[in-house]
Amino acid sequence: MKIALFGATGGTGRQLILQACDAGDEVTAVVRDPARLPESHPRLTVLRADVMDPATLGPAVEGCDAVVSALGSRDGRVPTSVCADGTAAIVGAMRAARVRRLVVVSAGTLTTDGDGPLTRLIVKPLLGNLFKHTIADKRRMEEVVRASGLEWTIVRPPRLTDGPHTGVYRSAVDRNVRGALRVSRADLADCVLRCLVDQEPIDAAVSLGY
């Protein structure tokens, strides 16, 4: 599978590169600054482009089987539009290149469906206030994805850690996993790649966690 990856320099993006390349996929990592991506692999191509400049994204997605976005803000407490605007540019490039499959990483804080009372009434409101700008950006991103007309999957993790890749986690479609408060970036990457390999769910959100 040929995958175009946005957000490759983040912790989740690097895990996606390692796992996808090791599985035999060809990955094009789209980055503004290649110096920030020390990873190397025979199946990895690093392409310089600015996700906020739609005109530069055509070569990144041309000929790909799927596109994965792990875009995110480096400071979750300041206003940002990187996810929403970046995803809109990606969707435009995919349409032009006639690439259909899109998986994006969002956040479990966007919904309380499936959560227990403690998480729903206390934890999520606190996080919503602390990271309101990031959550607003992710919410707008999801709106862009849902209106894209593409074959999309939204992956919503809880708090991310640098724990190991276990491949063992719980997941749920269109609702959060009750009691799941964390997941490793490595297992998040595992879930994203499973969505690509299994070609499901389509036009749905997947939550995961331990």
CATH number where 48 lies: 3.40.50.720
Give the helix ranges, DSSP H, for the chain: 11-22, 58-61, 82-97, 117-118, 124-130, 132-146, 185-198
Give the pLDDT band (50/70/90) at residue 74: confident
Average pLDDT over residues 2-15: 97
Residues sharing a CB contact under 8 Å with residue 19, sequence separation 6 or more, in sequence order: 165, 186, 189, 190, 193
| pLDDT of res. 168 | 97
How many Å apart are CA 42 and CA 101, to the nearest integer? Answer: 24
| Residue among 44, 76, 19, 63 nearest 192 (CA) | 19
- According to DSSP, residue 196 is labeled H
Q: Which domain holds residue 183?
A: 2-209
| Residue among 29, 30, 5, 42 nearest 193 (CA) | 5
User: Is pLDDT larger for residue 24 or for residue 39?
Assistant: 24
- In the chain, the number of structural domains is 1
